[in-house]
Chains A and B, each alone.
Chain A
Amino acid sequence: MQSRRKIIIIRLAVVGTFGSRQRIKFKVPQELAIIDGYQITTAGDGALVNNVALGKLSLSFNNRASNPIYEDVVSDKVQFKTGKYEYKKLLEPVKKKTLIEGYFINVNPLPVAYTLNIYLKGKELIQE
C-alpha cells in the first residue's frame, strides 16, 4: 500500500475577549495514518501586528490519548515578510474515526477578530 502527503486545515474564527476559550473538535479523515508536521498561521486584520502574543493552543489526538501540541500563538507578520513558513516536526500516528480535540485561549487584550489556521501535514494510505 502506498502513501501520499495529505494536509488538513482546522480553521478557527477567533472571537471574544481576553481570556475567552474556544473549543476545537475535528474528525480525522479515514485514510490519514500519521501526522508528521504542523504549523499555525493567522489571517485577518486583527492579527496584522508584529510579534504579539495572541493566545495559547492545545491539541490532543486519538480521542485525547496524547497532547503533543501545546504552545503560544504569536502573530506571524514578521516571519512572512522575510522568511519562509516551515512545518514543525511531529510524529503522531492517528487512528481511524478518532477526534482531534483541543482549545484556544485568547490572550490578546485588543478586541479584534481573526482566523487561526492550524495545518496538520501527514501521510494518507492509498489503495493500489
Chain B
Amino acid sequence: MASTLRKVKYQPIRLTITGAGLTASTNDARVDQNYDRVKGIQMTCTDANAIEQAYFDKFEMGGKEIYPKYYEGKLIYSGVNVAPNERFDKEVDEPGNNTTVDITLKDQSVAGTVYPYTVTVYLKLENPLK
C-alpha cells in the first residue's frame, strides 16, 4: 500500500518572547513520530530587529547538543535574498520519530524591538515511516 505521508515535512516549533531580556523555551516539543530523520533546521522571526542579537541558551535534540550555548539565532535565519531551499542548515542529520526537542532562546533587548514577538524554528523531516 502506498505511503499516505509526504516525503518531506516542515515541522514548526514556536517560541514567544514576551519582554525585553526574557527567555522562551519549548514545552515538551517532540519531532513528528511519522518521520525518521531531521535533515535541516532554519528559523524565522516576526521582528527582524530582535533576532540580530538573540541567542540560544540551549538547543538539543534527544539530549544531544545541536547548537552550543550562545549560538546566535541569526546564524540559522536567512534574509529575503536567499532561496527557500537554501535557508536550512543542511548539516543536521538527527533521529526523528518522537525525539525530544529542547530549545531556549534568550532576548538581548535590542533597541526598536516590538514585544511580544514570535520565533519559529522549522525542522525539515524526511524518511516517512509509513
Contacts and interface: CB of A to CB of B under 8 A. Distances in A.
B91 A84 contact: no
Contacts of B91: 5
A59 B52 CA distance: 25
B48 interface: yes
A48 interface: yes
A84 B111 contact: no
Given A44-B53, A48-B52, A7 B78 contact: no
Chief secondary structure at chain A's binding surface: strand
A17 interface: no
A82 interface: yes
A80 B49 CA distance: 10
Given A5-B91, A43-B53, A85 B48 contact: no
B71 A9 contact: yes
Contact of B70 (A11, A39, A80, A85): A11
B117 interface: no
B80 interface: yes
Interface size class of B (residues with CB under 8 A): 20 to 34
Contacts of B81: 82-83
Q: How large is the interface on A (under 10, 10 to 19, 20 to 34, 35 or more residues)?
A: 20 to 34
A117 interface: yes
Nearest to B76: A85
B122 interface: no
Contacts of B129: none
A77 B52 CA distance: 8
Given A9-B68, A9-B70, A83-B82, A119 B75 contact: yes
Contacts of A11: 70
A41 B72 contact: yes
18 contacts: A8-B68, A9-B68, A9-B69, A41-B72, A43-B72, A44-B53, A45-B111, A48-B52, A80-B52, A80-B74, A80-B77, A81-B48, A81-B79, A82-B81, A83-B81, A84-B79, A85-B74, A119-B71
